[in-house]
Structure 1
Amino acid sequence: MSLTNQSIYHYVMEQASSITKTWFAIKDGELGSIYSKNTSPSVEKLLTKQHTYTIQTVISAFLEDESIFAGNLEKWANKVAKSRVELGTPVHEVLQALSITRQVIWDSIEQFILEQKNVPTPLILQWSSKFHFTFDLLTNQFTSMYHTFTKQKLHCQEVLIQQLSVPVIPITEAIGVLPLVGDIDSLRAKLILETVPVKCKEEAINHLYIDLSGISSIDTMVLHELMKLTKILSFIGIDATISGLSPDTAQMITTLGISLGNVPTYITLKQALSLQKEPVQKALLKEKPLT
């Protein structure tokens, strides 16, 4: 076999299956990791396919057409990084697995050198430099894409958390409930002011019951933000009713001189709905199918 970069490509690709088997034998991730010895058959199948793709991507740098490696690298990084983020694999585990891959591929190249005999030292150094430089590019591209996909995942989770933290629940065609649970800090209060009116308009709600019974503590900031919310709702034609007010909260409102305006208040949501049952019942009757 001729001593060219292309010859290394063909040799390594012929050994790809053996290289992957060696990698599987060496890797030993922690229990629960996709790189553990007792990983599931489906994950093992995925790793086998992706490891072969990793070998092909790295060694394609030895082809004459440099654009082939560039294209392979972009596709590989996107596919593998997205897969690892979706599987929840920590980046340090992936980098460790890649380090083993680097070694087993280079071992194959060394075997090629031994089989050729008397390969000039400058050529060996050239191959070594090219291979390790290429693998560094691979690692850098992976970490960059891993970071991008992680940010996207966190953003989606953030949006979901925000949606769950401000749940406007329609209970009839025109009536909705906003059950607030947990603590309300300045960020969540801002989110409530920004999203609740929009959600109410989207759901065509004209009467919103704001239930505070699930809030762990209510301070002056929370009360002021709730009053802002009721005013904003009134400006767009939506009535508001507040339930879940404890005696301590009611006393705080009185002490601070906070005006609730014309907003009705009740101790429980059940009481609020039962005492205002007429509009609720009318709305329910509108939705009741004819029999």
Structure 2
Amino acid sequence: MNKKIARYIQDHEDDLLEAWMHEMKKRESERGPNSVSNEMYYNTSKEFISIIVSNVLDSNDKYTKKMGSFAENIVRLGWPLTFITTGLQVLSTIVYERMIEEKELSAEQINEMLIGFDNWMMPISNKMIEIYSETWEKTVSLQKIALQELSAPLIPVFEKISIMPLVGTIDTERARLIMENLLTGVVKHRADVVLIDITGVPVVDTMVAHHIIQAADAVRLVGARCMLVGIRPEIAQTIVNLGINLSQVTTTSTLRKGIEKALEFTNRKIVSLEGMR
């Protein structure tokens, strides 16, 4: 039965593809991709049909390789898994109905064909879900690593002065990364002053302040001074209300003021060119 279905799909590929895309376009606004060009949509759908046929006509290794490549492509395009599984069900229904229409079958034969279609579709659906999930987890893991690498960079801006701009929330894992990058960067860049810029941190609570104090203490232990810049009025009020002690950390309201202080700490200052005439 599986080979009959695969051969039928091959022989009527263009008509089936047209009917399938027409049906899937109706579902596009609900759960499918709505920013993909018609050409990309057509090519991806055609590839999907080729893979479905490959399940029967090719070796298992070749079929798995094709399915893996397809899964990577649709994950990159942002197509949800529900849209893909629905697509398989719709295609199966279209092929089944057309095969039934072309033959005069008894009730028993129709029931046998229905069972055959279920046996054909389930392994394909399960394989797609398995490979899609693995590909998605791999993609998310790689993105997480990339974001972690960018989430706490220590940037040297002047000789002996470095800045760590922080954006977003700070959890325990990120706080650990901040600490590691600070200590590694201070030694690497031979920094005497490090500015932690929290302008982009939406909330500073007790936990966040505790992590910042720990980072400042660690920086002092390796012979550098730590400054906290970007203290907005609402953040300052929160820190006071929580009774957080930042007396050991130099603070400023803006990054510019922080850089000016950092230059003073290293016996330098910003001089206007007009003042030098």
TM-score between the two structures when normalised by the length of structure 2: 0.73
* Root mean square deviation, CA, Å: 4.0
| Residues 209 and 56 of structure 1, relative CA distance in 2, 3 Å threshold | same
The 5 Å alignment of 1:1-291 reads: 9-27=6-24, 28-31=26-29, 40-60=37-57, 68-107=58-97, 109-110=99-100, 114=103, 125=112, 129-172=115-158, 174-201=160-187, 205=191, 207-245=193-231, 248=237, 260=248, 264-277=250-263
| Residues 59 and 275 of structure 1, relative CA distance in 2, 3 Å threshold | closer
Structure 1: unaligned runs, 5 residues or longer: 61-67, 285-291
Letter in 1 for 2:183: P
Cα offsets for 1:138-166 (capped at 9, x unmatched): 10011111111222232233334434442
| Residues 152 and 201 of structure 1, relative CA distance in 2, 3 Å threshold | farther
| Residues 243 and 43 of structure 1, relative CA distance in 2, 3 Å threshold | same
CA distance in 1, matches of 2:158, 2:73: 42
Percent identity at matched positions?
21
CA distance in 2, matches of 1:237, 1:216: 30
1:165·1:180 contact (CA, 8 Å) conserved in 2?
yes
| Residues 190 and 22 of structure 1, relative CA distance in 2, 3 Å threshold | same
TM-superposed deviation, 1:110: 4.2
SS at match of 1:210: strand
SS at match of 1:276: helix
CA distance in 2, matches of 1:216, 1:252: 17
Letter in 2 for 1:240: C
2:209·2:244 contact (CA, 8 Å) conserved in 1?
no
2:2·2:56 contact (CA, 8 Å) conserved in 1?
no
CA distance in 1, matches of 2:261, 2:4: 85
SS at match of 2:28: coil
Structure 2: unaligned runs, 5 residues or longer: 271-277
SS at match of 1:31: helix
Moved more, 146-155 or 208-217: 208-217
TM-superposed deviation, 1:96: 1.1
TM-superposed deviation, 1:249: 7.2
TM-superposed deviation, 1:80: 2.5
2:154·2:181 contact (CA, 8 Å) conserved in 1?
no
CA distance in 2, matches of 1:213, 1:48: 46
| Residues 243 and 73 of structure 1, relative CA distance in 2, 3 Å threshold | same
CA distance in 2, matches of 1:5, 1:92: 24
CA distance in 1, matches of 2:78, 2:178: 31
